[in-house]
Chain A
Amino acid sequence: MIETLQNLALGFSVALAPNVLFYAVLGCVVGTLVGVLPGLGPLAGISLLLPLTFGLNPTTAIVLLAGIYYGAMYGGSTTSILMRIPGEAASVMTCVDGYAMTQKGRAGPALAIAALGSFVAGTLSVVALMLLAPPLATFALRFGPPEYTALLLLGLIVLAYMSSGSMPKTLAMATLGLVLGTIGIDAMSGFLRFTHGVTELGDGIGIVPVAVGLFGLSEILLTAGKDTPPQVYKPKLHELVPTGEDVRRSAAPTLRGSLLGFLIGIIPGSAHIISSFVSYGVEKRLAKRPEEFGHGAIEGVAGPESANNAAASGAFVPMLALGVPSGPIPAVMMAALMIHGVSPGPLLMEQQPALVWGFIASMYVGNLVLLILNLPMVGLFVNLLRVPYAYLYPCIVVFCVIGVYAVNSSVVDVWIMIVTGAVGYFLRKLDFDMAPVVLGLILSPMLELSLRQSLAMSAGRYDIFLQRPIAAIMLAIVVVLLALSVWPALKGGGDWRTRVGLDEKPG
């Protein structure tokens, strides 16, 4: 514990340095703008703005990107409450009661409780991250290739089980990502796979062009043409103060949302989206007046908002401790670290304490900055939505091109973005989730390498996965999850998604 506090002190000495602080604030402001804009979620925002970090050192780069991530989560809730436009998918549940409160003239308290809940959840989950990540990293030092193979398989299955869509569709998308991840040089033999003479494909398909294509460009393709100016309600500063009753009713949902969000955040999948749905379902079930849900219940704002912000921090636990991303956003953050020559993994905390603890401390700072920034400046941020979409989307397309080109100075990456944008457009029209593709893409080379290393270790015997206890336990969990997902289908009923209102009944 003393060591953790010493590390945290080191982290604050890094995070409060003027240049790091500047980038934390800048990240929060830019992230809020990204979150306010419909069509640019945190993933597309981080991917697009990745080139901004090239001139920075790794610590300021990751602090800037984390600020964008948090800011986007905050910004998404603002437009959900005021205009019923979820800036990003995790804010969908906030729309329901948040907008209902706006219609009743209670936008101010809704915004205040969303911001306070996000702040509390963000802070609590960073404390949990701080306490959980170091022992997990120490534990992960015992991992060899068989354990990593089992862990990555578990990650993919949990992703599918916990995803908001149907399991076969999610697994299919993750497998598509795995297939894409096999393009390029085979790390074990040096063979070029599926490159068709395109030299740039030798290093494989980059995460950034795929993420920008699937999440940024495809959204533009789906939404362009809409030019109806949104009705913007701008609350005055004095209207933001919640009543004592609001605070009392929000306290427990905020704490429950923080815990739920953090735990779900650690698990692979679209954690921040799922956590907000689960939290809403839990709060509705526990509420004394469930009939108010959907008509402006403040618990319906406090719970999901806390949950999605806590999940944002929870998602960093496996990334920092294991070097395994739990979702597409940590995957892009990992890619950013790798661009700066830093390899995330269990040794990162030992080898780069200033970076890791500076990053953790910057999360505390970022949460505070967002609280101070967002409430008084809410009117300013929503003004961005007055810019006609006909002017906005061409500019976003241009920034997609710059953002993707700048990573490797490669036109091939721009082509990849365009093609994945078109693929994403069609798949989203057909109701497929895009996040598993990105996760599969980054896990693919890791999974293949660890599998082949495991077989090299065991002279080709697959029972190595059963002889090593950690790997065997993880594979047993894989089997249990597969059985749990098949069982409802055999019974002909819905699974947990149906219970929290996420999925349609199976056809």
Chain B
Amino acid sequence: MPPAAGVWWTGDRVAGLILVAIAAIVVVETMALPLGTLSRPGPGYAPLICAVVLAALGILVTLRRGGAPVANLRWGEARHALLIFGAGAFAALALERIGFRLTTLAILVFLIGVVERKPPLPVAAVAVAISFGGYYLFWNVLRVPLPTGPFGI
């Protein structure tokens, strides 16, 4: 959807500028690598070419004036998204420290019980079933190793 006249900050413009910024970071990082020559490219050659193309496309996307105005974007789900993102980050931090079962138990209790405010009994039932059942399915049935925590839990 083309933006209304006078609207500068559109979705495409924001995304285009972010792409240009990413390209700039890649160019800076590439400087630490041997570039080689056009006829004998080194390890920095392909990333540099990609970064230049990315920057050019980012500029093109910015100049196209496409996308809805940023002010019109709705962020009603942002609170949920942030909490889920936090739960995911917790999983990455805790998985190998406290084990799969305790990590998933904590995530499920947090998301279903705290974020979604569901009654304690179903929360406990779902959390225990998924964390312990999931572990049994992957470890015992499918032989996929999952980390255990303190006391072998």
Contact = CB atoms under 8 A, between A and B. Distances in A.
Contacts of B80: 221, 224-225
Interface stretch (A200-208, A327-335, A345-353, A403-411): A403-411
B47 A194 contact: yes
Given A186-B43, A390-B116, A169 B61 contact: yes
A151 B41 CA distance: 20
Contacts of B64: 166, 168, 506-507
Given A172-B57, A398-B104, A54 B85 contact: no
A451 B46 contact: yes
A503 B19 CA distance: 22
B121 interface: no
A398 B39 contact: no
Interface in B54-107: 54, 57-58, 60-61, 64-68, 73, 76-77, 79-81, 84-85, 87-89, 91-92, 95-96, 100, 103-104, 107
Contacts of A168: 57, 60-61, 64
B88 A417 contact: yes
Interface stretch (A89-97, A175-183, A300-308): A175-183
A314 B145 CA distance: 35
Q: Helix, strand, loop or mixed for chain B's interface?
A: helix
A430 B88 contact: no
Contacts of B103: 401
Contacts of B46: 182, 444, 447-448, 451-452
Contact of A411 (B47, B95, B138, B145): B95
A397 B15 contact: no
Contact of A54 (B42, B100, B143): B143
Contacts of B41: 451-452, 455
B128 interface: no
Contact of B15 (A427, A444, A507): A427
A411 B15 contact: no
Given A395-B130, A448-B46, A179 B15 contact: no
Give the bracket for the number of chain B residues in contact with chain A: 35 or more
A55 B142 CA distance: 6
Given A169-B12, A430-B14, A455-B40, A391 B88 contact: no
Q: Which of A182, A417, A506: most chain B Cβ within 10 A? A: A182
Contacts of A188: 43
A420 B1 CA distance: 26
B81 A461 contact: no
Nearest to B131: A398
Ordered nearest first, which 3 A-B pairs have the shortest CB separation?
A: A460-B39, A394-B111, A186-B43
20 contacts: A169-B61, A172-B16, A172-B60, A188-B43, A221-B84, A221-B85, A222-B77, A222-B81, A394-B112, A398-B104, A401-B88, A402-B100, A402-B138, A409-B145, A421-B85, A422-B85, A447-B46, A451-B46, A455-B41, A460-B40
